[in-house]
Amino acid sequence: MSDVEAIIATMAEYAHLLDDGRLDEWADLYLEDGELDIAGQVLGGRTAIVEYLRTGYSAGSSTHIFSLPDIRVTGDQARAVADFLLVTNSSGAVSVGRVDDEWVRCPDRWRLRMRRISLKS
């Protein structure tokens, strides 16, 4: 599997684990000190990211759909940009935005250093 294919597969896994509420497995897709920036609110480290999600997230509450990402690999680092559609399953509310990712090759897989989420109005 190429690096680009591996990152695409990990991005799909990210959405499925999150939508299924499997937050511990989902958090493992980040570096230990990875960051998640949700429209300017920056969470640092796996523990903080998972604690934030556990406060208001439940399995099956959302469905994430991502566009085909634009991925640029440079050695052991990569950048990926993709648009997304997020549907809140209980109310049908829809959010649209973009993720801008920084990926790092680890011995066992690619992991996120940073995911920036920006919402489109």
State the Cα–Cα distance between residues 6 and 73, nearest whole angstrom.
11
Reduce the DSSP state of residue 70 to 3 states and report it.
Answer: strand
Chunked mean pLDDT (size 10), the chain, 121 residues: 97 95 94 96 94 78 92 98 91 91 98 97 72
Query: Would you state the pLDDT for residue 92?
Result: 77
State the Cα–Cα distance between residues 119 and 121, nearest whole angstrom.
7
Entry field: residues in the chain = 121
Query: Would you state the pLDDT for residue 60?
Result: 66
Q: Which pTM value belongs to this model?
A: 0.91
The sign of the dihedral angle between the CA atoms of 108, 38, 45, 76 is: positive
CB contact at 8 A, 80 and 103: yes
State the Cα–Cα distance between residues 87 and 106, nearest whole angstrom.
31
